[in-house]
A and B are shown apart, each in its own frame.
Chain A
Amino acid sequence: EAQVTQNPRYLITVTGKKLTVTCSQNMNHEYMSWYRQDPGLGLRQIYYSMNVEVTDKGDVPEGYKVSRKEKRNFPLILESPSPNQTSLYFCASSSTRGHGYTFGSGTRLTVV
């Protein structure tokens, strides 16, 4: 089944403790992206990647890192999480510029 898989689905952590949210797609998509969803603000892009080793900042990149060492994987790294990073995170991928993204199931992160 073609899908984007995120892990974990839920995560509660403490301020400053490094964490990684994994994202993997099995559709051989070139393009991958991370979004955060907050009430009243919609979906805001954090980082995106056009292909292996090609990444760039979205609208809200502060406090986040990404890497794209393999085509299928695009992990999101929070080196020192803070409470304002409490949010619902979605990974997404796309095969070409002409199609919309396929989203993962989401990761609900709470930083206390």
Chain B
Amino acid sequence: GENVEQHPSTLSVQEGDSAVIKCTYSDSASNYFPWYKQELGKRPQLIIDIRSNVGEKKDQRIAVTLNKTAKHFSLHITETQPEDSAVYFCAARDLNTGFQKLVFGTGTRLLVSP
């Protein structure tokens, strides 16, 4: 089955710096890659996603890149702000299979210091 590895487990940056979180997946059939943000004590919330027919997607200060050949994808946050501090999860799924198996990485705790 699919296995998703996520690095780093913790990331500390200064406000205004960029942050990059990387994930690798094992199943070449995976074709949908969402990213979730979980603030302390809250539920995970979808912040951006990408499908395998696209190499990059941007939404204001966040972007996701996908390298299908290497089977890895990354989340990029520019001009970080203290409110970006949270745990971020990547995930992968094969949209062509008949079930909703979304496999998550183990999470990255991002701390943005003022």
Q: Which A residues fall within an 8 A CB radius of B?
A: 31, 33, 35, 40-45, 48, 50, 56, 58-59, 90, 94, 97-106
Question: When each residue 72-114 of chain B gets 1 if its CB lies under 8 Å from chain A and 0 otherwise, what string results?
Answer: 0000000000000000010101010011111111110000000
Contacts between chains A and B (CB distance < 8 A), count: 57
Q: How large is the interface on B (under 10, 10 to 19, 20 to 34, 35 or more residues)?
A: 20 to 34
Cβ contacts under 8 Å, B34 to chain A: 100
10 interchain pairs, CB-CB under 8 A: A33-B100, A42-B104, A44-B104, A48-B99, A50-B99, A90-B44, A100-B49, A101-B46, A102-B46, A103-B44
Q: How far is the CA of A103 from the CA of B106 in the complex (A)?
A: 17
Q: Which B residues fall within an 8 A CB radius of A?
A: 1, 6, 9, 32, 34, 36, 42-46, 49, 51, 89, 91, 93, 95, 98-107
Contact A43 B89 (CB under 8 A): yes
